[in-house]
Amino acid sequence: MLTTPAARLVARGSEKPLLLDDVEALLGSKTLVIDACRHAVSRAGRSIALDTRPVLFTLARTLAEAFPGGASREALLARAFRARHADESHRARLRVEIGRLRKTLRGFAAIEATPDGFALKPPRGRDVAVLAPPSEEAHGTVLALLADGEAWSSSALALALGASQRTVQRALDELAAAGKVQPVGHGRARRWMAPPLPGFPTSLLLTAALPGG
């Protein structure tokens, strides 16, 4: 578990896995980090939370992934607004949201217009990187919670994710069919966990019964 990648570094058109120590070093560096694990923008230990502003975060991530170049208006519209065929209203909304992002990132980075879009410009030539989860596949947030080896009930997962229990149960059923999670117990006592590591019997991962239980 300690040698399992905790995140991915996406920068300048390539990506690589990061361990926990690598993540800590990155977040403490002067690199402008678009943190897709926490939905924030960080630099040198300071951060701006964007978890309640998903459009701004998506724009920031798209610009960071295009760095050191720029992102086209079409790419920004497709990522932030899912607009397949952009019209003038979409372009107007993009200008408004880019203006809001400029204001939000003041002191962290500037955003400059390019002939076909916008580009992120960190101060004094600093680098830009995206810190992404190890996996962004379907139901990745459920997998992330189960990755610590603990057993979770579907209701606890729903509470942690802010989702309905029915939605979480559907995700668990799909993940179980793919062999990525497994149930333990039955009925209301059922819990869900990641498959055990190779070489470790499942019984070692379960809580032992108390004397007289």
pLDDT tens digits, one per residue of 124-164: 889 999 999 876 666 777 877 787 678 899 998 888 777 78
Q: CA-CA distance, 88 to 205, in Å (whole number)?
A: 57
- Sequence-ordered strand ranges (E) for 77-200: 110-113, 117-121, 128-132, 182-184, 191-193
More confident call, 57 vs 82: 57
The count of other CB atoms within 10 Å of the CB of residue 78 is: 15
pLDDT for the residue 1: 54
Residue linked to tokens 């978890």: 51
Euclidean distance between CA atoms 144 and 67, whole angstroms? 28
pLDDT at 200: 37
Q: Does residue 47 surpass a pLDDT of 80?
A: yes
Tell me which of 51-60, 103-112, 144-153, 176-185 is least confident.
144-153
Q: What is the pLDDT of residue 196?
A: 66
Instruction: Tell me the three state secondary structure of residue 164.
Output: coil
The neighbour count for residue 86, using CB atoms within 10 Å, is 16
Could you give the angle at which helices 154-161 and 165-177 cross, rounded to 10 degrees?
120
Residue spans of beta strands (DSSP E) within the chain:
7-11, 14-18, 32-35, 40-43, 46-49, 71-72, 110-113, 117-121, 128-132, 182-184, 191-193
What is the rounded average pLDDT of the residues 29-48? 92
Q: How confident is the model at residue 100 (pLDDT cuts 50, 70, 90)?
A: very high
Long-range CB contacts for residues 95-100, cutoff 8 Å, separation at least 24: 97/55, 97/56, 97/59, 98/59, 100/56
Q: Which domains does the chain have, with CATH numbers?
A: 7-132 (1.10.10.10), 140-205 (1.10.10.10)
Hey, how many other C-beta atoms are within 10 angstroms of the C-beta on 106?
A: 10
Q: For residue 120, is pLDDT > 60?
A: yes
Count CB atoms within 10 A of the CB of residue 36. 20
- Tell me which range, 76-80, 87-91, 198-202, is most confidently predicted by mean pLDDT: 76-80
CB 6 within 8 A of CB 135: no
In sequence order, what are the beta bridge partners of 41? Answer: 34, 48
State pLDDT tens for residues 61-70: 999 999 999 9
> What mean pLDDT, rounded, does the chain reach?
85
> What's the whole-model pTM score?
0.67
Q: What is the pLDDT of residue 204?
A: 36
